[in-house]
A and B are shown apart, each in its own frame.
Chain A
Amino acid sequence: MKIKEIGNLLDAVCLTGESHLDSEVISACCSDMMSDVLAYVKDQGVLITGLINPQVIRTANMMDMICIVFVRGKKPTEEMVELAEECGIAVMCTEKRAFEASGILYAAGLSRSAEGKHV
């Protein structure tokens, strides 16, 4: 799935540049606990979270994630968006809650791991 499709599916507003939107992702992780993202994420390309602080961007960067979806209408700061741009991470915001956003993306084909891709 392309990152721009995630934006369409979630009625999300993209806050970073156009350049990332054609990148492909096949899996996602949903968590507000960055400790768990660091401990359990292996090859997920998308982070779905409602947590707002610069460590969300840095954590995604450490885990080689390329897209962050902020749920529940949470808005990242300008500093966070700039950092994401520097790290090559697409950032988008949706009014949907984490459960709904995750469900929509799962139903559309995103999996929890690259190996365990469901059909």
Chain B
Amino acid sequence: MSDTVKFHFDVDGSDFSSAGEASVTVKKKLRQLGYPPEVIRRVSIAMYEGEINMVIHANGGTADVEASDDEIVIILSDKGPGIPNVELAMQAGYSTAKDHIRNLGFGAGMGFPNMKKYTDEMRIDTVVGQGTTITMKVRF
């Protein structure tokens, strides 16, 4: 098995204007590594949605990306409020985002469904009051 390239980011939750920076960096790195455009696109969209979610709902967290020959794994981990009802959160159009987030162009309740759509595997480990870890895999 060949080497896996790993990236780690601390996602700042205090400043919305920086939300999405990690995903932009990952996209650039994956292009440099020569991954196929369609794979990069799927990883980018899924990670970006997740990163924005972490900033909106959990005051930031960490993002780890592991890129190997046949899959890219994205792990987003936060110490936010957790998700009381994952099934409900997965429904298209369901959102708990406040109006000020909608005014920034987000919070349409499409983040989770979109993350699932663009990845081959999506796992949500969440404990209310402790935090959430989302693991997504894109295979190719």
Q: Are A61 and B27 in contact (CB under 8 A)?
A: yes
| A-B contacts, 15 listed (Cβ < 8 Å) | A33-B108, A34-B106, A35-B105, A39-B110, A51-B104, A53-B17, A53-B105, A54-B17, A55-B19, A58-B20, A58-B21, A59-B20, A59-B105, A61-B24, A61-B44
Q: A59: which B residues are within 8 A, CB to CB?
A: 20, 48, 105
Q: Are A55 and B52 in contact (CB under 8 A)?
A: yes
Give chain B's interface secondary structure class.
helix
Instruction: Say whether A85 faces chain B, with CB atoms less than 8 Å apart.
Output: no
Q: B18: which A residues are within 8 A, CB to CB?
A: 54
Q: A54-B20, A59-B20 are in contact. List 13 more A-B contacts (CB 8 A).
A: A33-B106, A34-B106, A35-B106, A35-B110, A36-B110, A38-B45, A38-B110, A39-B113, A55-B106, A56-B105, A59-B105, A62-B23, A64-B41
| Contact A62/B108 with A54-B17, A55-B20 known, Cβ cut-off 8 Å | no
Instruction: Say whether A63 faces chain B, with CB atoms less than 8 Å apart.
Output: yes
Q: Are A58 and B23 in contact (CB under 8 A)?
A: yes
Chain A residue at minimum C-beta to C-beta distance from B52: A55
Instruction: Say whether B107 faces chain A, with CB atoms less than 8 Å apart.
Output: yes
Chain A residue at minimum C-beta to C-beta distance from B104: A53
Interface size on B, residues (CB 8 A): 27
Instruction: Say whether A32 faces chain B, with CB atoms less than 8 Å apart.
Output: yes
Q: B52: which A residues are within 8 A, CB to CB?
A: 55
Q: Are A35 and B107 in contact (CB under 8 A)?
A: yes
Q: A53: which B residues are within 8 A, CB to CB?
A: 16-17, 104-105
What's the nearest-Cβ distance from chain A to residue B9, in Å?
14
